[in-house]
Amino acid sequence: MENLISVKGLHKHFGNLVAVDGIDLEVQQGEVLGFLGPNGAGKSTSMKMITGYLAPTAGSISVCGHDVAIDPIAAKTCIGYLPEGAPAYGEMTPSSFLSFVADIRGLGGKTKTNAIARAVEQINLEGVMHQPIETLSKGFKRRVGLAQAILHDPKVLILDEPTDGLDPNQKHEVRSLIKEMAAQKAIVISTHILEEVDAVCSRAVIIAKGRLLFSGTPAEFAAHSYYHNAVTLSVASDISATVEKTLAVLADVSGIESATTDRDMTRVTVIPKENRSIVGSIHNCIRQHEWEVDELFVEPGRLDEVFRTLTTKSESTGEETRT
Amino acid sequence: MSRTLTILKRELGAYFATPVAYVFIVIFLLLTGVFTFHIGELYERNQADLEPFFRFHPWLYMLLIPAISMRLWSEERKAGTLELLMTLPISLVEAVIGKFLAAWCFTAIALALTFPVWITINYLGDPDNTVIIAGYLGSLLLAGGCLAIGSFISALTKNQVIAFVISFVICFLFNLSGFPLVLDMFSSWAPQAIVDVISSFSFLTHFESILRGVVDIRDIIFFGTLIAFFLYANVLAIEAKKGS
């Protein structure tokens, strides 16, 4: 697979502020890369540099083999970009706006008509094609931005918070669309919705304070969790104390957490030592004591917890960064 | 080049998509009418020329052109569409020229709509139409100069009101730079050469020489250089302000 995006030693300083502090990144065709990080971590700034909007302080970026600094027009030709907040010209209608973008991208005649028709169909924009964009709802505005980004069927798609402000149905649609397009493209999305990583990304990177803290598949990401391989079971509240006591002494168990879910059920989470698999021994235990268990599942790991641990750890290093 | 045309088309469309264009054209025509016939006393002069019509254009443009140019870049920066535009495969120079030309075409349309004045004077008398054509050319060049200044100022701020006020003041200074009001500020301390240079920047001097029907290449070069200079500054301003 060829590398469609290749970023080396990327730095961006705004005066004394270090927004991006040495990021290396490669994205291949077929990958959907999730950019994660707290607000102000440098996600948007990195995307602005990859798309050629901002010039890096140091480092090099190449997109589809074109160096963004040397041949920006060629690089921009193969990128589709949805900037943060999906900006568009408010007084234009989606129809005239898409036609404008197609003209700038050099699509003409039948190619242009087909490109617009395809994008409109994929994004479901038919109903609002002739209303001024400023009168559209937030969800439709974002869809117009997406349609603009995929108009020329680019090899590289960079989407800054594509699902921000959408309702759950619209989020689902956008995610399905991303998955549909993934095979032929290299897609980078930034988000702070962690479930999105699981839903669409083939790989996730975490950025905080302008640095890359983690890179791996969503499963690897989850494996960093304190809860990875933990087992959760629901039992009646009156036997929960016994259950906790029995399970706590099992080998490989490092701790127990419990929470009352409703009046008479308690959810017990058993945490293993060093993320070892303990579901077998717990299962045996349940059979042996003939407990009635409502639910029993192994946790893959909690993304929000990993995210918090990774990103707050870097905060304590106390470097000056952009907020 | 075709991308510059695309920008031009979009920008020109944007003027007419909102009431701005119509309000501007109506006010412009009303004001030229008032200036020409009442203050300029076109009829009372009993001369078959359009001098009273053109004479007030520098003052009209000083007020009205910033209203056209103020949105050119401020709006893009404020709405975030600058990022969209600059990540499309188009160079900044193409975009700057496209937007400037759109605003210039718009003023040309407004100016062309003053044709009844020209018809009137031809009906009433026998004017030298080459002088009138020179007058229109001079007026267009003057508008271009004000627009380039306004476009540059608009690139510096996200606030359209600030862009309007500052462009107004700068056009005002350019208009008056041959007059004692401006020259006195410099003559007391600056060498005579600098005072002369400042005085040669006067829009009024260059415009008036064209109005007399003498289309001097130096006046055209003056306005051409002025436009090129401010559009170049415009490009630099956008480059510098992109991150903020």
Tens digit of each residue's pLDDT (9 = 90 or more) over A280-289: 888 888 888 8
Least confident among A12-21, A96-105, A111-120, A256-265: A256-265
Distance of CA B29 to the CA centre of its chain: 16
Distance CA A71, CA A63 (A): 10
How large is the average pLDDT for residues B201-209? 87
Q: Please, which pLDDT band fits residue A319 given cuts at 50, 70 and 90?
A: very low
Confidence of residue B91 (pLDDT cuts 50, 70, 90): very high
Q: Does residue A48 sit at the B interface (CB-CB below 8 Å)? A: yes
B130 — contact with chain A (CB < 8 Å)? no
Q: Do A83 and B84 touch (CB under 8 A)?
A: yes
User: Structure tokens of A183?
Assistant: 């095979």
Cα-based distances in Å from B186 to A208, B177, B191: 54, 11, 8
pLDDT band at A316 (very low <50, low <70, confident <90, very high): low
Q: Which pLDDT score is estimated for A219? A: 85
Q: Name the range with the highest mean pLDDT among A86-100, A193-207, A226-240.
A: A86-100
What's the average model confidence in pLDDT over B209-217?
85
Determine the pLDDT at residue A227: 86
Residue B193 confidence class, pLDDT cut points 50, 70, 90: confident
**What pLDDT, on a 0 to 100 scale, did the predictor assign at position B47?**
79
Residue A260 above 80 pLDDT?
A: no
Q: Pick the more confident residue, A226 or B160.
A: B160
A69 touches chain B (CB under 8 A): no
Is residue A206 within 8 Å of A312, Cβ to Cβ? no
How many Å lie between the alpha carbon of A44 and the closest alpha carbon of chain B? Answer: 11
Mean pLDDT for chain A overall = 88
Could you tell me if residue A78 is left (phi over 0), alpha (psi between -120 and 50 degrees) or otherwise beta?
Answer: alpha
* Confidence at residue A290, expressed as pLDDT on a 0 to 100 scale: 86
Would you state the pLDDT for residue A194? 83
A145 and A160 Cβ atoms separated by less than 8 Å: no
**With an 8 Å Cβ cutoff, is B81 touching chain A?**
yes
Which has the minimum average pLDDT: A201-210, A234-243, B105-114, B128-137? Answer: A234-243
User: Which percentage of chain B shows pLDDT scores above 70?
Assistant: 100
Q: Which of A93-107, B80-94, B148-162, B174-188 has the lowest mean pLDDT?
A: B174-188
- If one counts every other C-beta atom within 10 angstroms of the C-beta of residue A23, the result is 24
Q: Which chain A residues have a beta carbon less than 8 Å from that of B242? A: 53-54
Question: What is the average pLDDT across B48-66?
Answer: 89
Across the A:B interface, residue pairs with CB atoms under 8 Å apart total 70
- Nearest by CB to residue A91, choosing from B6, B17, B243, is B17
Q: Choose the weakest-confidence range: A111-115, B95-99, B134-138, B173-177.
A: B173-177
Provide the pairing of β-strand A203-208 with A253-262. unpaired
* pLDDT over 70 at A323, yes or no: no
Q: Which of B2, B8, B87 to mutate to test the interface with A (most CBs of A within 10 A)?
A: B87
| pLDDT for B114 beyond 90 | yes
% of chain A beyond a pLDDT of 90: 48
Q: Give per-residue pLDDT as tens, A177-188.
A: 999 999 999 999
Residues B113-118: what's their mean pLDDT? Answer: 92
Q: Do B217 and B141 meet the contact criterion of CB atoms below 8 Å apart? A: no
The average pLDDT across A113-126 equals 92
**Cβ of B194 under 8 Å from any chain A Cβ?**
no
Q: Mean pLDDT check: name the lowest of A130-144, A202-216, B178-192.
A: B178-192
- Which residue of chain B has the CA closest to A50? B87
Q: What is the mean pLDDT of residues B115-125?
A: 90
| pTM (two decimals) | 0.88
Question: Which residue in the set B13, B80, B88 is minimally distant from A104, CB to CB?
Answer: B88
CB contact A24 to B (< 8 Å) = no
Assess whether pLDDT exceeds 90 at residue A195.
no
The CA distance from A223 to A198, in Å, is 13
Q: Which chain A residue has its CA at the smallest distance from B20's CA?
A: A91
The Cα–Cα gap between B203 and B222 comes to: 9
Average pLDDT of A110-129?
Answer: 92
At residue B102, does pLDDT exceed 90? yes
Shortest CA gap A159–chain B (Å):
12
pLDDT, position A322: 40
